[in-house]
Amino acid sequence: MLGSAETSDSLLTELRQLLVDGFGDDFPEEDWEHTTGGWRVVAFDGDEPVSHAAVVPRTIQVARRAFDAGYVEGVATRPGRQRAGLGSLVMSEATRLVQDRHDLGVLSTGLHDFYERFGWQRWQGAAFVRDGDRLVRTEDEDDAIMVLRCGPSRDIDLTGPISCDRRSGDDW
């Protein structure tokens, strides 16, 4: 586990390339920026990073209640090394990190089955983005959002509204 401030420039360059390769070149600069400011969980083979997950702090509101959330970003494994348990290894550690340091875990994905193995649950309510004082509906994210209820969020209703702050690139 590496804090953003503890990661060397050369390792950051390698991790950026791992994510570009892992997402098949569908990983724009804004998505890379979303992985910064928190913790990185990285699996290495020798000195080579082969799998990555980031947990970054975000404020997520469920109904009208704000939570200090650990938002999972940039989960990828180097092509050629996929399906060997490396993604599970980093995601297991990222899940523990969320449980230890945050009130709620949140991520957006199309691969629900992968995350459900670690206790993540599909959000069943409506999704919104907070833009100043205004809530903007993000219907296209309704089926993508997953949460990890822990600590103070353990009993939240999965059918209520959920919202995040607007950011560049993908809001969720």
What sign does the dihedral 163-51-34-169 (CA atoms) show? negative
Q: What is the mean pLDDT of residues 44-65?
A: 96
CA–CA dist 44, 59 (Å, integer)? 31
User: Which residue has better confidence, 103 or 83?
Assistant: 103
DSSP label at 153?
G
Residue type, 24: G
Check residue 100 and give its pLDDT. 97
Nearest Cα residue to 51 out of 10, 8, 94, 9: 94
Domain 2-165, CATH number (from 3.40.50.1220, 1.20.120.1200, 3.40.630.30, 3.40.640.10): 3.40.630.30
Strands of the chain (E only): list them: 2-3, 39-45, 48-62, 65-77, 104-108, 121-122, 127-131, 134-137, 145-149, 162-165
Q: What is the mean pLDDT of residues 68-92?
A: 96
Confidence band for 24, pLDDT divided at 50, 70 and 90: confident
Domain layout of the chain by residue ranges: 2-165
Lowest mean pLDDT of 3-7, 66-70, 124-128, 139-143, name the range: 3-7
CA–CA dist 123, 164 (Å, integer)? 13
For the purposes of burial, counting CB atoms within 10 Å of the CB of 13, is it exposed (0-12), middle (13-18) or buried (19 or more)? exposed
Give the predicted TM-score (pTM) of the model.
0.93
Q: What is the mean pLDDT of residues 145-159?
A: 97
Check residue 26 and give its pLDDT. 81
DSSP label at 115?
H
pLDDT at 1 over 70: no
Query: What are the pLDDT digits (tens) for 90-109?
Result: 999 999 999 999 999 999 99
For the purposes of burial, counting CB atoms within 10 Å of the CB of 117, is it exposed (0-12), middle (13-18) or buried (19 or more)? exposed
